């Protein structure tokens, strides 16, 4: 079998057209959605992510503002900056790029963000609402994967989904969102023994472990759907996922590539959350 490619670039583009239209409608009624991104320090990966967020915001008509703070900024100064943005009516979404320098408590900073402007979906209030199925800002990567599965026509109800990874940003919320759509969910992680015995049972396999080409055809059930959240460099410095794509595509029925799979969906969902926040504020 050669798997169908789940194209995150194409699905993301389709969604961004819808977002662009939503932004345009909102602008004609007098509100321009505003996103503030706080970048602390000079982490090169973070700088690239932030630049991409700026560029993508502009493409759909969202006004973005990047606040660069030195790595030596105090926790208090950062919290004060967040509070200033909480009070600013022209800002509908606030994102503090992670990771933060060691002397700053990330949890405190996330909790300082107004939950109504928490477009990352990291605030405990949004996490809690998501857990009990209430309307909340959803974390962008799992939210983007749900959108991809739905737009590809992948059936979720009654399916066995195995999630490899248990981070607060991807693995844990991913399982919860799938559970709410009536999947049977199994979580695996770095301490799971005999990983393949679980993954071989998956109708849908979500891989978010951060290890290049770790999952191979030997972990995958014939005909399953494979979603690869990984973003790594292989031995030749080439971008690759957590799944060995060449091997997996011979077994799976559908699979996301890296690059061009989950990645483009993550920023798209940030734009969608920012639009949603601006729509609510303008009501």
Given 53, 117, 159, 221, which residue is catalytic? 53
167 is an annotated ligand-binding site residue: yes
Is there a binding annotation on residue 253?
no
User: Judged by CB, which is closer to ligand GUN: 33, or 263?
Assistant: 263
Angle separating helix axes 262-281 and 44-60, nearest 10 degrees: 60
Q: Does the annotation count 97 as an active-site position?
A: yes
Q: Note whether 148 and 256 are within 8 A (CB).
A: yes
Query: By CB under 6 A, which span of 94-102, 129-137, 196-204, 215-223 interacts with ligand GUN?
Result: 94-102
CB-based burial, 126-154: b 16+ in 10 Å, e otherwise: bbebbeeeeebbbbbbbbbbbbbbeeeeb
Closer residue to ligand GUN in complex, CB, 138/255: 138
55 a catalytic residue: no
Three-state secondary-structure class, residue 122:
coil
What angle in degrees, to the nearest 10, is found between the helix axes of 8-28 and 262-281? 20
Q: Note if 272 is an active site residue.
A: no
Total interface residues for ligand GUN by CB under 6 A: 6
Of 98, 131, 154, 239, the residue at the interface with ligand GUN (CB under 6 A) is 98
Of 79-87, 92-100, 143-151, 196-204: span binding ligand GUN (CB under 6 A): 92-100
Alpha-carbon gap, residue 81 to 31, rounded angstroms = 23
Contact between 96 and ligand GUN by CB under 6 A: the answer reads: yes
Tell whether residue 82 is a contact of ligand GUN (CB under 6 A).
no
Candidate list 97, 256, 268, 274; residue touching ligand GUN; CB under 6 A: 97
- Residues 138-167 binding ligand GUN (CB under 6 A) are 140
- d(CA 94, CA 53) in angstroms, rounded, equals 12
Distance CA 10, CA 207 (A): 21
Does residue number 269 form part of the binding site for ligand GUN (CB under 6 A)? no
C-alpha to C-alpha distances, 72 to 2, 11, 102, nearest whole angstrom:
51, 40, 10
Check if the beta carbon of residue 174 is closer than 8 Å to that of residue 227: no
Site for ligand GUN in 37-76 (CB under 6 A): none
- List, in sequence order, every residue forming a beta bridge with 38; answer none if it has no partner: 67, 96
| Residues 206 and 237 sit within 8 Å (Cβ to Cβ) | no
The answer to the question of whether 30 is labelled as a binding residue is no
Question: Alpha-carbon distance 117 to 95, whole Å?
Answer: 9
Instruction: Find the binder of ligand GUN among 6, 26, 95, 138 (CB under 6 A).
Output: 95
Nearest approach, Cβ of 267 to ligand GUN (angstroms)?
9
Q: Where is the binding site for NADP(+), in residues?
A: 165-167
Contacts with ligand GUN by CB under 6 A lie at 95-98, 120, 140
Binding-site annotation, residues: 165-167
Active site residues: 53, 97, 120
């Amino acid at each position: 079998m050669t798997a169908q490619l789940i194209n995150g670039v194409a699905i993301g583009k389709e969604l961004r057209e819808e977002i662009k239209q939503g932004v345009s409608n909102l602008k004609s009624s007098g509100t321009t959605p505003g996103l503030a991104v706080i970048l602390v320090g000079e982490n090169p990966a973070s700088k690239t992510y932030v630049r991409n967020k700026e560029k993508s915001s502009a493409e759909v008509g969202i006004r973005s503002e990047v606040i660069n703070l030195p790595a030596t900024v105090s926790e208090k100064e950062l919290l004060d900056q967040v509070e200033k943005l909480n009070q600013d009516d022209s800002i509908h979404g606030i994102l503090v790029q992670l990771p933060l320098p060691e002397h700053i408590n990330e949890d405190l900073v996330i909790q300082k963000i107004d939950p109504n402007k928490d477009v990352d979906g990291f605030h405990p209030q949004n996490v809690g609402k998501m857990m009990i199925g209430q309307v909340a800002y959803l974390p962008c990567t799992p939210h983007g994967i749900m959108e991809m599965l739905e737009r590809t026509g992948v059936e979720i109800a009654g399916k066995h989904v195995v999630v490899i990874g248990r981070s607060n940003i991807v693995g844990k919320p991913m399982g919860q969102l799938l559970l709410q759509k009536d999947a049977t969910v199994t979580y695996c992680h770095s301490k799971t023994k005999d990983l393949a015995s679980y993954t071989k049972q998956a109708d849908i396999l979500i891989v978010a472990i951060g290890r290049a080409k770790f999952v191979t055809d030997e972990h995958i059930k014939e005909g399953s759907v494979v979603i690869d959240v990984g973003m790594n460099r292989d031995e030749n410095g080439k971008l690759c996922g957590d799944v060995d794509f060449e091997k997996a595509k011979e077994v799976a029925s559908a699979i996301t590539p890296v690059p061009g799979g989950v990645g483009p969906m993550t920023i798209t969902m940030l734009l969608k959350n920012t639009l949603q926040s601006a729509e609510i504020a303008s009501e």
